[in-house]
Amino acid sequence: MKQNKKLFWLVTAISLVISVISTFIIETYLTKNINIVGSFISLHASQNRGVAFGINMGTLQPILIAFALCFAFYIALKHASSILDCIGFGLIIGGGIANIIDRIQDSTVTDVFKVGSFPIFNVADSCITVGVCLLLIQMFIGSNRIFNKSKV
């Protein structure tokens, strides 16, 4: 992580700022649904009290969210070493903090992107999802390197 520490912090900051600004814009200016590709893809502002896919974990939810974010931050600082690690963890942490900031006012996050019957999501959720995908790719690449070396 030492080599890519600046990249990690840069990605965290950018994903946080873009997520917070997009939420502000949606809450301020999106007064009606906007169809992008018919009704299949649209901008549709909604409030979500749950976490991933609208799952609500009740009164423990804020504690679990904070714990998960702290755990991801700890893992990032201890183990992130590659560029993909730093970008992935930066996106996850920036998006996570943005969703927490959004929850502070009314215990909800503002979701906006509606794609088919998939649950509505926001920019911060997208950052988290892309970050997780990058970490999975990094794990796959890393495990292939280890696997290939062990065969030699």
Q: What pLDDT digit, counting tens, does each position of 56-79 carry?
A: 666 777 788 889 999 999 999 888
Q: Is residue 81 part of a domain?
A: yes
Quote the number of domains for the chain.
1
Structural domain range at position 66 = 5-141
Q: Is residue 65 part of a domain?
A: yes
Residues near 64 by beta carbon (within 8 Å), at least 6 away in sequence: 51, 57
Residue of 11 and 39 predicted with greater confidence: 11
Whole-model pTM: value is 0.86
pLDDT over 90 (residue 11): yes
Give the pLDDT confidence score for residue 151 in this predicted structure. 44
User: Is 111 annotated in the active site?
Assistant: yes
Residue of 124 and 65 predicted with greater confidence: 124
| Cβ atoms within 10 Å of 11's Cβ, excluding its own | 23
Q: Is residue 147 part of a domain?
A: no
Q: Is residue 64 part of a domain?
A: yes
pLDDT over 80 (residue 132): yes
pLDDT, average across residues 26-34: 93
| Cβ atoms within 10 Å of 66's Cβ, excluding its own | 12
Q: Is residue 110 part of a domain?
A: yes
Give the pLDDT confidence score for residue 142 in this predicted structure. 75
pLDDT, average across residues 17-43: 95
**pLDDT tens by residue, 79-96:** 888 899 999 999 999 999
Two structure tokens written together for 137:
């790719």
Q: Is residue 20 part of a domain?
A: yes
Q: Is residue 129 part of a domain?
A: yes
Catalytic residue among 85, 102, 106, 111: 111
One-letter amino acid identity for 22?
A: S
Tell me the pLDDT band of 145, cut-offs 50, 70 and 90: low
Q: Is residue 62 part of a domain?
A: yes
Q: Quote the CA–CA distance of 85 and 54 in Å, as a whole number.
A: 27
